[in-house]
Structure 1
Amino acid sequence: MMFDLPDTDTLYTALCARDDSYEGRAWVGVTSTGIFCRLTCPARKPLPENCQWFGSVGACIEAGFRPCKRCHPLAPMAKAEPVIDTLLAALEKRPTHRWGEGDILRMGLDASTVRRAFKRHFGMTFLEMARQRRLREGFTTLAKGGPVIEAQLDAGFDSPSAFRTAFAKLLGQSPGTFATNALLRADWIDTPLGPMVAVCDRQSVHLLEFVDRKALPTSLKKLQAAAKGSLGIGRFDINDQLEDELRAFFSGNRAAFNVKLTYHGSPFTQGVWDALRTIPAGETRSYSELARTIGRPQSVRAVARANGANQIALIVPCHRVIGADGSLTGYGGGLWRKQRLIELEHRFKDQSAA
């Protein structure tokens, strides 16, 4: 198992140090109080002999422990840090504001603490997240058929060139170059792990990627070429199904996706993607195991390349492939997301076992 608990001495040391590397991977039940906590809990530390260690929240509850009211182990990990909630609420109220460190200081917050908290939980700083949020406003305006100048103003950009540059950096081309009434349309989807871009036609999903993935602009250009330039901004009815299934996945209510997909890859690559979809949620495979699954045990490198070329994140679960030694290997969406996804999917395995 990738996240087998280490020995009790290691866990107790992590508890005393409030080691956040065990967030979502280990919890402590305190027999003297009957509560369970995150290892980062700020409460006074229990004696070692009063600690029981668990690999899931469900196991803590089944053992009869109640959730701690200080570290809130039942809440999402990011919610345990008040500074995150404070700034996310502020961002929601002022999505087009040009946030800077001065704003953070004026709110009475420490800029370095904010930076570390957001990097730890989201893989990006608050200021980076705020810039993405501004672009989302412009993207939404374009998706509704609004003109570029309106999208620019909605995104809070005074300069048309600055808006075009920021937009092109994200999607690989300026907003004015996207087609109208296109066969393929790009839409913005918000998720607990950050915004994603989905490209769909009327019947299927062609691409689903996190917006900060470096390969996204290149992937979009390839799709545009495949569609002979017919790539636009907007949505079809299938986007509603995709969003509903993503929402159910992140809330822990469904492990599988039924939305129809269209692959863009060689027959070998498509075979690897199909094999990825057979890995149950909550389980992982190594590249060599995946190669044996498709009957090509000598093609481990080719399987790894096909895995990395996946353009439909989450639904084609390339995040479930790890190193032979159990280590987290490369993931286009960021290793922090890969770890979060594997941790999130453990609930499906726990539900299946129950």
Structure 2
Amino acid sequence: MISEKEQKQYYQALLAKDSTYDGIFFVGIKSTGVFCHATCPARKPKYENCTFYETAEEALLSGYRPCKRCKPLSFPREIPPLVQKMVELVEENPEKRWKDQDFAELGIHSMTARRQFKKVYGMTFVQYARSRRMGMALKSIKKGEKRINTQLDVGYDSSSGFYDAFSKIMGRNLKQSKEIKILSADWIDTILGPMMSIADDEYLYLLEFVDRRGLEREIERLRNRMNASIVPGKTKINEQIKGELDLYFEKKLDEFRTPYLCLGSDFQKSVWQALTEIKRGKTFSYKELAKAIGNPNGMRAVGNANGANQLAIIIPCHRVIQTDGGLGGYGGGVERKKWLLKHEREYR
């Protein structure tokens, strides 16, 4: 997280167009919906209209698009024409999900495209396109908009294009119907970065960090299983988990009481139930977890079920480590896992 002191320092660098800060931070401009690098020549925004990020991916996931004047994704290095073309293609059709066939139709070898994009931006092309796509949906969720009316902010000239982009991620169109269940998605700012909750008036179905890899697929699985459309908004369940997370990060929460519903196989549910029985401040190895559910040879299956958990922190998959004591993986990132384990060890 960028401290308030650093944010003010970055803002002064932005005003001064200090080139020593290029690549150190990116700034999202709330009034225009774009993000820039430190030496952008455009008119400088007010401090309260700025949100600072350490990476371009974070800015994209927050719903900002690259500034056309300073081109923050390419600065300060020159980028190959192929890579520039790929960025332009994403901006022409941000909701598109790219496949190998799409590259072939453009006369581009997919491996070459991926390699060049990663070399220039430090992220894969698929990662960039996904972040841009998710950012559009998450921006509306962050604002809590019941009806999506910010299409011009994300680069669309018509509402239909924006509705299409949103519905491809969140499910069908935004018009409610008796056949489709409506779930509400809310944005939660935490000390470890933003999270998203998805709930109705009875249960919480998803709680994840917004930059988790595979989040889009998780949302897709959820809405297909529930025959649901997901809209920005709040229910009493969204509000309850938001309050409980605040208390958790302040070390003031005894246990989570937000009602939730797990959607998965019987085996997955048995693993998730076992996870909730790991005491705060303690850890299990995958082997120990497999034994706990009566399947000592099922470590790989247990690991897969652990990774399929859609309720971060509440169902504490971060408390599972490798047999040799190594942290192992975590959907929200290994650094977050390390932080959560330390936080819980110090919990009183």
TM-score, with length taken from structure 1:
0.61
Code of the aligned partner of 1:190: D
- Whole-angstrom CA distance in 1 between matches of 2:155 and 2:195: 22
CA contact (8 A) 1:95 1:133 kept: no
Match of 2:34 among 98, 103, 111: 98
Name the SS for the 2:35 alignment partner: coil
- Whole-angstrom CA distance in 2 between matches of 1:166 and 1:336: 35
Aligned-pair distance for 1:324? Answer: 0.8
CA contact (8 A) 1:95 1:130 kept: no
Deviation track 1:327-348 (CA, whole Å, cap 9, x = no partner) reads 1211111112111211222221
Structure 2 residue aligned with 1:236 = 235
Structure 1 ranges of 4+ moved more than 6 A: none
Code of the aligned partner of 1:189: I
Is 1:127 the equivalent of 2:53?
Answer: no
Code of the aligned partner of 1:145: K
- Whole-angstrom CA distance in 2 between matches of 1:225 and 1:175: 8
Worse overlay, 260-269 or 174-183: 174-183
Structure 1 residue aligned with 2:169 = 173
- Whole-angstrom CA distance in 1 between matches of 2:341 and 2:11: 24
- Whole-angstrom CA distance in 2 between matches of 1:289 and 1:338: 19
- Whole-angstrom CA distance in 2 between matches of 1:332 and 1:151: 30
Q: Are the structure 2 counterparts of residues 96 and 246 from structure 1 closer, same or farther at C-alpha, using a change threshold of 3 Å?
A: farther
Name the SS for the 1:183 alignment partner: strand
Structure 2 residue aligned with 1:345 = 344
**Could you list the runs of 5+ residues in structure 2 that have no partner in the other structure?**
15-26, 43-51, 64-135
Structure 1 residue aligned with 2:309 = 310
Q: Are the structure 2 counterparts of residues 252 and 163 from structure 1 closer, same or farther at C-alpha, using a change threshold of 3 Å?
A: farther
CA contact (8 A) 1:272 1:294 kept: yes
Worse overlay, 232-241 or 317-326: 232-241
Code of the aligned partner of 1:196: M
CA contact (8 A) 1:184 1:231 kept: yes
CA contact (8 A) 2:156 2:162 kept: no
Q: Are the structure 2 counterparts of residues 254 and 172 from structure 1 closer, same or farther at C-alpha, using a change threshold of 3 Å?
A: farther
Name the SS for the 2:34 alignment partner: coil
**Could you list the runs of 5+ residues in structure 1 that have no partner in the other structure?**
1-76, 107-116, 119-124
Deviation track 1:245-296 (CA, whole Å, cap 9, x = no partner) reads 0111112211521111101111111011011111122221110111112222
Q: In angstroms, what is the RMSD of aligned CA positions?
A: 3.5
The aligned length equals 251
- Whole-angstrom CA distance in 2 between matches of 1:179 and 1:219: 22
Q: Are the structure 2 counterparts of residues 174 and 256 from structure 1 closer, same or farther at C-alpha, using a change threshold of 3 Å?
A: closer
Code of the aligned partner of 1:328: L
Q: Are the structure 2 counterparts of residues 167 and 127 from structure 1 closer, same or farther at C-alpha, using a change threshold of 3 Å?
A: farther
Name the SS for the 1:99 alignment partner: strand
CA contact (8 A) 1:184 1:199 kept: yes
Aligned-pair distance for 1:194? Answer: 1.6
Aligned-pair distance for 1:190? Answer: 1.7
- Identity, % of aligned positions: 34
Aligned-pair distance for 1:307? Answer: 0.4
Q: Are the structure 2 counterparts of residues 298 and 275 from structure 1 closer, same or farther at C-alpha, using a change threshold of 3 Å?
A: same
- Whole-angstrom CA distance in 2 between matches of 1:152 and 1:187: 19
Deviation track 1:175-226 (CA, whole Å, cap 9, x = no partner) reads 8734537432222222221222211121111111111122211111122112
Q: Are the structure 2 counterparts of residues 187 and 105 from structure 1 closer, same or farther at C-alpha, using a change threshold of 3 Å?
A: same
Deviation track 1:217-249 (CA, whole Å, cap 9, x = no partner) reads 111112211222443332211111110001111
Residue correspondence of structure 1 range 129-278 to structure 2 within 5 A: 129-134=58-63, 135=136, 136-141=138-143, 143-146=144-147, 148=148, 150-153=149-152, 155=153, 157=155, 164=162, 173=169, 177-180=173-176, 182-278=181-277
- Whole-angstrom CA distance in 2 between matches of 1:210 and 1:179: 27
Code of the aligned partner of 1:98: V
Structure 2 residue aligned with 1:83 = 6
- Whole-angstrom CA distance in 1 between matches of 2:163 and 2:174: 15
Aligned-pair distance for 1:100? Answer: 1.8
- Whole-angstrom CA distance in 1 between matches of 2:55 and 2:9: 11
Worse overlay, 330-339 or 316-325: 330-339
CA contact (8 A) 2:171 2:229 kept: no
CA contact (8 A) 2:287 2:296 kept: yes
Worse overlay, 240-249 or 223-232: 223-232
Code of the aligned partner of 1:231: I
CA contact (8 A) 1:308 1:331 kept: yes
CA contact (8 A) 2:171 2:228 kept: no
Q: Are the structure 2 counterparts of residues 328 and 156 from structure 1 closer, same or farther at C-alpha, using a change threshold of 3 Å?
A: same
Q: Are the structure 2 counterparts of residues 92 and 131 from structure 1 closer, same or farther at C-alpha, using a change threshold of 3 Å?
A: closer
TM-score, with length taken from structure 2:
0.62
CA contact (8 A) 2:285 2:320 kept: yes
CA contact (8 A) 2:173 2:229 kept: no
